[in-house]
Structure formats: C-alpha cells, structure tokens
C-alpha cells in the first residue's frame, strides 16, 4: 500500500488533534483555553480604584470657579497618588461649602472643602482617608484609637519606616505620624507613606 504523502499525513494529524480537543471540551466544557505564559500577556488588574465627582453650581460665581479650580487640582493629585500606590476603592463626591472652616470627609464618601488655604493635595489626601474609615469607621476605636494603634499591618509598616520601636498614635479622628494632619507634615515621602499606611489599616480591618 502506498503511504500517504507528507501533506496528507499532516492534515490527518491536525484533524486528529482537533477531534481530541473537541472531545476534551465535551468532557469538561468549563475548561479554560491555555494562556500564554509570558510577561507581556500577564496583566495584573487593580482590585479597585478611587473616583471622585465635584458638585458645581450651574452658573458659578468667580469665587466658586476659583474654588473649583483649586479643588480639582488638589483632588486629581491626591486620587492619582492613592490609585498609584494602593488598591483602595471609593466613589467620592466633593462639595465647595464656604461655611466649612477647613475641610472634612465622611465615610459616606462626601468631602467638603471650605477654606481655600486648605484646597491642596495634603488636605485632599487627609480627607480621602476619612472617607475610607480613618476616624469614621465603627472599627476605629477597636484598633486602639485613641491611644496607640494596635493593628498588625500598619504597625509593621511604620516600624519599617521608622525603626523597630515606632508606633502609630491616634485619637478619635486622626493618626500620626503620616496622618498629614497639618500642612507642615507634607512631603512627597510622607504623602506616599500616608497612602500605604491607610491601605494597611484597611487590611487590619478598618
């Protein structure tokens, strides 16, 4: 018997492989197709992101528009830092309310800015932390506040930054170091560490 030519044998092999693949799919219809195992194909998605919306007057005054511009710059910088350094997620609504002495943040996702001197990245980072639960979560007191914070993740992080005896102190609303409670505390390093500590507090059960 004359053997099949090479191209015919290749076609038979392909048909046989296709039949085996179809049979495997029938036996396990939920099997996922094989994925490439190269770094270019491995894209790690972030778990969550922080988003924000500014509530604006329909016909803003010059004062309001100036405040909106300041708030936008501050919030864009702060949200970008949180999203670059953490997997925290929150949908935040921001208001300009001149009656607010400085600014405040609520766990319901609301931030209010009042004084224009507080419309900066430091304040925005600080108030975002309140929307995430710093000083506003029902778990805040159970984590040792006020007094010495007792969550393992954030405590380990501050000791990595400042030495084996370092501790986070906290009261009913704030923590330090790295709480960014005052403009004098702001630096690029402190801002990064603030975000990392807040994320660690969430892992601690905040």
Query: pLDDT tens for residues 105-143?
Result: 999 999 999 999 999 999 999 999 999 999 999 999 999
Q: How far apart are CA 163 and CA 25, in angstroms?
A: 56
Does any domain span residue 149? yes
Domain count, the chain: 1
Does any domain span residue 123? yes
- Name the H helices within the chain: 6-27, 62-85, 121-132, 152-162, 188-203
Does any domain span residue 128? yes
Percent of the chain with pLDDT over 70: 77
Does any domain span residue 18? no
Q: Tens digits of per-residue pLDDT, 179-203?
A: 999 999 999 999 999 999 999 999 9
Q: How far apart are CA 81 and CA 192, in angstroms?
A: 7
Assigned token pair, 79? 């949200």
pTM: 0.78
Does any domain span residue 33? no
Domain that holds residue 82: 50-203
Task: Note the pLDDT of residue 47.
Answer: 65
């Amino acid at each position: 018997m004359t053997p099949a030519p090479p191209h015919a044998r290749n076609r038979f092999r392909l048909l046989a492989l296709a039949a085996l693949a179809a049979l495997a799919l029938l036996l396990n219809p939920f099997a996922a197709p094989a994925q490439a195992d190269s770094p270019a194909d491995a894209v790690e998605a972030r778990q969550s992101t922080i988003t924000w919306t500014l509530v604006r007057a329909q016909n803003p005054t010059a004062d309001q528009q100036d405040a909106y511009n300041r708030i936008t710059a501050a919030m864009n910088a702060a949200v970008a830092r949180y999203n670059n350094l953490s997997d925290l997620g929150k949908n935040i609504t921001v208001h300009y309310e001149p009656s607010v002495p400085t600014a405040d943040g609520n766990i319901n996702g609301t931030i209010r800015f009042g004084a224009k001197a507080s419309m900066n990245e430091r304040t925005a980072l600080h108030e975002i932390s309140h929307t995430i639960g710093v000083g506003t979560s029902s778990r805040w007191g159970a984590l040792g506040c006020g007094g010495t914070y007792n969550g393992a993740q954030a405590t380990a992080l501050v000791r990595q930054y400042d030495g084996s005896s370092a501790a986070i102190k906290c009261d009913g609303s704030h923590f330090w170091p790295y709480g960014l409670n005052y403009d004098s505390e702001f630096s690029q390093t402190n801002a990064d560490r603030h975000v990392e500590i807040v994320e660690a507090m969430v892992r601690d059960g905040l």
